[in-house]
Amino acid sequence: MPYIHNTITGLMASSPAQSEFYQAVEEVLESLEPLLEKSPHYRKNHIIERMVEPERQIMFRVPWVDDNGEIHINKGYRIEFNSALGPYKGGLRFHPSVNASIIKFLGFEQIFKNALTGLQIGGGKGGSNFDPKGRSDNEIMRFCQSYMSELYRHIGPTTDVPAGDIGVGAREIGYMFGQYKRLTGRYEGVLTGKGTLWGGSLVRKEATGYGCVFFAENMLKSQGDDLKGKTCLVSGAGNVAIYTIEKLYQLGALPVSASDSSGTLYDAKGINLAHLKELKEQKRVSLQNYLEQYPHAEFVPVKDYPEDGHAVWRYKADAGFPCATQNELTEADAKALMTNGCNCISEGANMPSTPEAVEVFLRNKIHYGPGKAANAGGVATSQLEMSQNASMQQLSFEQVETRLKEIMHDIHQRCSETAKEFGQPHNLVLGANIAGFRRVADAMIEQGVV
């Protein structure tokens, strides 16, 4: 469609060298073709041109001093993409790969993910190219305080409410919240992912992983199947991967893999969850250390990965859960998964499958849950934390998990019904993109040209 091609071409001219952002936009816009043909008023109101441009882009320097007295300068970002449905909502990522393209792709995805939850939250994202690995607690605290010394003036409980992401957990959220409170003198729900002692929600740490599994279970149940007894591949070893593994065990599945920046771990007997948590949440060491206690397991270092993909996706399994990072699952990986009998993919990470891999999944008509739908459990629980903060109450673990399960069921139903409406019942990518877009676009039209 020339309209969509021209939009992408215009973005490349106005926002050069942002390949991840273009990929995210193109994936959404291609899905919208049948909607734009059916409802031309979206084009008339220039909704797409307005939606692909962030409402606000904030970039700033973050100076900090390490334990040896050396001064470092990092780049800080906050992209406030769309507030049609509510305050900007989306995580902060601290990782050396962070740049404007990464943050914009994540923020753009967040618009639709948040819309799919049915909750009143807009889309945003932020972070820095700071690498917390190998840094002391004091260095991380000083960096977080410096980052918040700029960010605080742009956020608030009814304006923009950041959360955690890669490299930003409860420790980092705590340091940033402390600095926000110090600078503003206000104790309010300006960040989510807080400690439960001071306003955090139970289940927040587990939410993205649990939600990803709930989404997979909903996909399978729609065809009279479930996860019980299924062998599952999981990538990553952070919060999302760990709690994906935990919920898979709870539903009777057998998760057999995990991965980190050093390589891929495979345990045919099932990943020992307690030991995985010890290695990654307490000791913060490589997965290779798992072999010291469980020598029967396999570890494939990154240098031995296949040239055309990732080692984790080359094992035989019934289902896959990409929970690491963007574009980690290639076309060759997808073909290997199909050959090995996989019939379900539920994405815990943001855009973890390349466009070519997605085509393989859709062509084979397997159960495929795109990240903007399957990993929305984290932001949904963040919104529940916001509502708890506003009412000065705290829900029980069971109450939050029950609500999370309901939200993931509703997201699947929304995506599935929309896919059927447009004659592609197996295509939840199309269903998710159109359902999310339509909710945001209609709100934008009702609010005028702003």
What is the per-residue pLDDT across 31-70, written as a single tens digit (0 to 9) for each?
999 999 999 999 999 999 999 999 999 999 999 999 999 9
| Residues 125 and 159 placed together within one structural domain of the fold | yes
Give the lowest-confidence range in 3-12, 118-127, 153-162, 180-189.
3-12
| Residues 33 and 140 placed together within one structural domain of the fold | yes
Residue at 358 is within a domain: yes
Q: Residue 62: which CATH number?
A: 3.40.50.10860
Full 3-state SS string of the chain: CHHHHHHHHHHHHHCCCCHHHHHHHHHHHHHCHHHHHHCCHHHHCCHHHHHCCCCEEEEEEEEEECCCCCEEEEEEEEEEEECCCCCEEEEEEECCCCCHHHHHHHHHHHHHHHHHCCCCCEEEEEEECCCCCCCCHHHHHHHHHHHHHHHHHHCECCCEEEEEECCECHHHHHHHHHHHHHHHCCCCCCCCCCCHHHCCCCCCCCHHHHHHHHHHHHHHHCCCCCCCCCEEEECCCCHHHHHHHHHHHHCCCEECEEEECCEEEECCCCCCHHHHHHHHHHHCCCHHHHHHHCCCCEEEEHHHCCCCCCHHHHCCCCEEECCCCCCCECHHHHHHHHHCCCCEEECCCCCCECHHHHHHHHHCCCEEECHHHHCCHHHHHHHHHHHHHHHCCCCCHHHHHHHHHHHHHHHHHHHHHHHHHCCCCCCHHHHHHHHHHHHHHHHHHHCCCC
| Residues 282 and 229 placed together within one structural domain of the fold | yes
| Residues 175 and 322 placed together within one structural domain of the fold | no
| Residues 15 and 160 placed together within one structural domain of the fold | yes
pLDDT of residue 3: 81
Structural domain for 86, as ranges:
2-186
| Residues 172 and 232 placed together within one structural domain of the fold | no
| Residues 175 and 222 placed together within one structural domain of the fold | no
Which residue, of 364, 388, 407, is where some domain finishes? 364
* Residue percentage of the chain with pLDDT more than 90: 98
Residue at 274 is within a domain: yes
What is the per-residue pLDDT across 288-321, written as a single tens digit (0 to 9) for each?
999 999 999 999 999 999 999 999 999 999 999 9
Q: Residue 349: which CATH number?
A: 3.40.50.720
| Residues 31 and 93 placed together within one structural domain of the fold | yes
pLDDT tops 80 at residue 448: yes
Residue at 416 is within a domain: no
Which residue, of 364, 391, 420, is where some domain finishes? 364
* Residue percentage of the chain with pLDDT more than 70: 100
Specify the number of domains making up the chain: 2
Residue at 193 is within a domain: no
Residue at 389 is within a domain: no
Active site residue ranges: 125
| Residues 269 and 155 placed together within one structural domain of the fold | no
Residue at 114 is within a domain: yes
| Residues 181 and 312 placed together within one structural domain of the fold | no
pLDDT tops 90 at residue 5: no
Residue at 343 is within a domain: yes
| Residues 7 and 44 placed together within one structural domain of the fold | yes
Which residue, of 364, 395, 427, is where some domain finishes? 364
pLDDT tops 90 at residue 2: no
Residue at 195 is within a domain: no
| Residues 18 and 133 placed together within one structural domain of the fold | yes
